[in-house]
Chain A
Amino acid sequence: MQSTYQSWGNFPKVSQRIRSIPWRKKPLLLPETPDTVLAHGLGRSYGDVCLNNNGILLTTRKLNRFIQFDVDEGVLRCEAGVSLAEILALCVPQGWFLPVTPGTQFVTIGGAIANDVHGKNHHCAGTFGRHVLQFELLRSDGERLLCTPTSNEPYYAATIGGLGLTGLITWAEIKLKRISHRAMQVESIQFSQLDEFFELSQQSDQDYDYTVAWLDCNNSQALGRGIFFRGNHVAADEIPKDWKLPRFNRLPPLLRTMPINLPGFVLNRWTISAFNTFYYKKTRQSQLIDYQPFFYPLDAILEWKRLYGKNGFLQYQFVIPDHRMLKEILQKIVASGLGSFLAVLKTFGELASPGLLSFPRPGVTLALDFPIKGAVTFELLAQLDEKVREMGGAVYPCKDARLSARHFQAFYPQWTKFAEYIDPRFSSSFWRRVTETPLCVKS
């Protein structure tokens, strides 16, 4: 069946056939035609790592069954299309939490592995892949590989952060994290310069499991202005008796699903006002909040991407090893006036991922949105790629839709080794783009 599956940024526009994969033990039964295939979870990747133009998408959302949950050990085994939201709904009431979570819970476990996602606790927990005990990889020739850190290790390493190219993950087993209550103690601290951010970050990494900052990119005068958030899960006995699970500020359903595309300024207004409520309140405030608004502030508006209008948008996320160089890139972004008003800033820790092609590495990472305003947007981002390359950093494939082959290969020189593990039948729009030209930059 032909379909209109797109990715989160609504760019690029592609056309693909859809094959739903509802049963993990059944053979893939791929068509005889030479078309390539690619797994697709919840399409929360911004660009084209989850797209396969003119090929076939194997959608995994019906592969959404739990297999086993060891409540004493916190080990959960489930099919690859189970979403993090479904895992939380099951595990939080039983005292377990995701070891690592990205900024949305609407991603599948297969997608979380394939992009080796990171969260606000990267400095102490590393990437998602570090907590994956084992998974099954189904190859197009029908072979099923049980992958663990010790069995089929090369496939284990290639599949974590492997952008869906090594085959279909049918199920996975992860180690959860103990919590005793769903509430979080969260502190927000305003800062006016990047140096203050780095200081706060360094101070907090020891005592706080979760740290992240919002950076104001609106105003070149106040560059470096932002809010630093840090938080921890709370022990049940530290919760005041009268603390009640707040009723979430749910928008009306029509707004949540956002049936139409709205002009971009609506989102900017929203982010600016969210930013300002924190920024102008107090220099420092501490509160007890539920984990949902802390981890997933944007999930309340399900289809917020539509706020960027029908042209779609790009998200740009990079990491550079030396934080002193961040200012130079930021100035360039702010001066262009093309980016979103808010950027998300975080320092990555030293913990290495088992993934061969994973993005996170020690340094500082920044992410922000760029509504597509034509060639200028693409030119700016290409210039940023060059800066990131000079600084020895990398750009995150899961957010990307435009990176050149030259830059990708510079950021991920191990891609040739990775390519040995790609399933011959699997491919993606992203992969064809970033490998179209021969290796130019040798490391």
Chain B
Amino acid sequence: MRKILIIGATSAIAQETAKLFAEKHDALFLVGRDVDKLEAITADLKVRGAHQVAYYTLDLNEFDQHEPMLEQAYKSLEGLDTVLIAYGTLDDQKACEQDFAQAEQALRTNFMSVVSLLTPIANRLEKQHYGCIAVISSVAGDRGRQSNYVYAAAKGGLSLFLQGLRSRLHSANVCVLTIKPGFVDTPMTTNFKKGALWAQPETVARGIFRAIKWRRNVIYLPWFWRFIMMVIRLIPEPLFKRMKL
């Protein structure tokens, strides 16, 4: 039985991943900002076989509440060995261009708040000498595009942060997994037109579940995004800046 903390537990991808943990009878501690949603998910995971499920209501932009939340998670789970960070917002790029306050909000939620969480989490896991930290970043963070570069900057920054953290925690036997999903059909992307490249959250969840089990470093989900992003990164900048991506 693993002791798992899921931060952003109401996200579609997190919910599907949590079901897989529940089927393995893991103990879960869920963090999110909406109590109705957390209650519904908690009941579901209990029926599906989770050893225990508790939830904690928190807007993750309240940085000073991160430590007390973590404290509570340790208490409830009687330890901690796996952390999944799965929340995020896909803010309107045009609005971010016009108004720094919006851009700042996007960066706070998608980058700063995660750093604020990872600081105490990393220190604790480093001390206990075991554990796994899995964080959902995005393929968007692999290259800045005109259509969403504020979000991309946050996710790209997050990926770099995780890369450094991975290497720091390697000697402490703690693995750091960077998850880079492509297009996923979730509430975040309700208004997008869906095509062949789109994946269901169930599929992405299975990938996350396996990657945690195998203690992987960086995964693209579904796998073909690794190659798509390889090509996108290879496009020379003089050409890329002219492309309407």
Contact = CB atoms under 8 A, between A and B. Distances in A.
Contacts of B44: 65-67
Contact of A22 (B39, B47, B187): B187
A1 interface: yes
A62 B40 CA distance: 12
Chain B at the A interface: SS class = helix
Interface string A338-359: 0000000000000000000000
A244 interface: no
B41 interface: yes
A1 B191 CA distance: 7
A62 B12 CA distance: 9
B191 A25 contact: no
B98 interface: no
Nearest to A171: B40
Contacts of A24: 40
A93 to B, nearest CB: 10
Interface residues of B, number: 13
Contacts of A20: 187, 190
Given A1-B190, A1-B191, A23 B47 contact: no
Contact of B40 (A1, A65, A69, A90): A65
A90 B36 contact: no
Nearest to A86: B48
A42 to B, nearest CB: 15
A68 B36 contact: no
Given A1-B190, A1-B191, A22-B187, A66 B36 contact: no
A281 interface: no
Interface string A369-389: 000000000000000000000
Nearest to A24: B40
Nearest to A69: B47
A78 B48 CA distance: 12
A68 B43 CA distance: 7
A90 B190 contact: no
A22 B40 CA distance: 11
Contacts of A65: 40-41, 43-44
A68 B187 contact: no
B170 interface: no
A343 to B, nearest CB: 36
Given A66-B47, A67-B43, A69-B47, A25 B36 contact: yes
8 tightest Cβ-Cβ pairs between the two chains A and B: A65-B44, A66-B47, A25-B36, A69-B47, A66-B44, A67-B43, A65-B40, A23-B37
15 contacts: A22-B12, A22-B187, A23-B36, A23-B37, A25-B39, A26-B36, A65-B41, A66-B43, A66-B48, A67-B40, A68-B43, A68-B47, A69-B47, A78-B47, A90-B47
Interface of B: 12, 36-37, 39-41, 43-44, 47-48, 187, 190-191
Given A24-B40, A65-B41, A69-B47, 18 more contacts: A1-B191, A20-B187, A20-B190, A22-B12, A22-B187, A23-B40, A25-B39, A25-B40, A26-B36, A62-B12, A65-B40, A66-B43, A66-B48, A67-B47, A68-B47, A78-B47, A79-B40, A90-B48
